[in-house]
Structure 1
Amino acid sequence: MIILAADIGGTTCKLGVMDERLEILHKWEIPTNKEQDGRHILKNIHESFQKNAQIKNYSMDEVKGIGLGVPGPIDFDNGVVNGAINLNWAGKKNIREEYEQLSGKPVYVDNDANVASLGEKFKGAGQNAKDVVCITLGTGVGGGIISNNELVHGYNGSGGELGHFKVDFKERFLCNCGHRGCLETVASATGVVNLAYHYYEELRFSTIIEDDIESRTLQAKQVFDAAKEGDEFSLYIIRKVSNYIAYALSVISVMSNPEYIIIGGGVSKAGDFLIDHIEERFQEITFKPAVEGTKIVTAKLGNDAGIIGAAGLIKQYVK
Structure 2
Amino acid sequence: MILAADIGGTTCKLGIFDASLKQVERWQIPTDTSREGSGILEAVHMSFKQKLEESGLGYGDCRGIGIGVPGPVDFSTGTVNGAINLNWRAPKKIKHEFERLSGITAVVDNDANLAALGEQAFGAGKGRGDIVMLTLGTGVGGGIIAGHHLVHGTHGSAGEIGHMKVAVGENFKCNCGGTGCLESVASTIGLKNLALKYSGDFESSVLKPHIEDGSLKAITVFKNAEDGDPLSLFLVDKMSFYLGLGTSSLAALTNPSQIIIGGGLSRAGDFLLGRVRAYFEEYAFPPAAEGTEIVPAELGNEAGIYGAAKIVSQYIDHE
Give the TM-score normalised by structure 2: 0.96
CA drift of 1:196 comes to 1.7
- 8 Å CA contact 2:5–2:67 kept in 1: the answer is yes
Give the corresponding residue for 1:282: 280
AA aligned opposite 1:297: V
Match in the other structure for 2:19: 20
Alignment of 1:1-319 (within 5 A): 2-201=1-200, 203-319=201-317
Checking the alignment, whether the CA contact within 8 Å between 2:75 and 2:108 is kept in structure 1 is: yes
Q: Aligned Cα RMSD in Å? A: 1.3
CA deviations on 1:44-93 (whole Å, 9 max, x unpaired) are: 11111111012233343321110000111111011111111222223222
Q: Deviations over 1:186-240 (max 9, x none)?
A: 0001111211221112x12432323323333221111111111122221111111
Counterpart of 1:195, as a letter, is L
Which secondary structure state, in structure 2, belongs to the residue aligned with residue 90 of structure 1? coil
Q: Identical aligned pairs, as a percentage?
A: 51
Q: What do residues 268-302 of structure 1 show as CA deviations (whole Å, max 9, x unaligned)?
A: 11011111000011011101111111111111111
8 A contact 2:121–2:307 mirrored in 1: yes
Corresponding residue SS for 2:176: coil
The question of whether the paired residues in 1 share the 8 Å contact of 2:60 and 2:104 is answered with no
d(CA) in 1 for partners of 2:227, 2:205: 11
In the alignment, is the contact (CA less than 8 A) between 2:59 and 2:104 conserved in 1?
no
Q: Secondary structure at the match of 2:246?
A: helix
Distance of 1:152 and 1:53 partners within structure 2: 32
SS in 2 for 1:214: helix
| Deviation (angstroms), 1:266 | 0.8
Ranges in structure 2 where 5+ consecutive residues have no aligned partner: none
CA distance in 1, matches of 2:254, 2:167: 22
User: Shift in Å at residue 10 of structure 1?
Assistant: 1.3
Q: In structure 1, the residue corresponding to 2:81 is in which secondary structure?
A: strand
Contact 1:116 1:308 in 2 (8 A): yes
Bigger Cα displacement from structure 2, 244-253 vs 25-34: 25-34
Using the size of structure 1 for normalisation, the TM-score is: 0.96
In 2, Cα distance between equivalents of 1:260 and 1:29 = 30
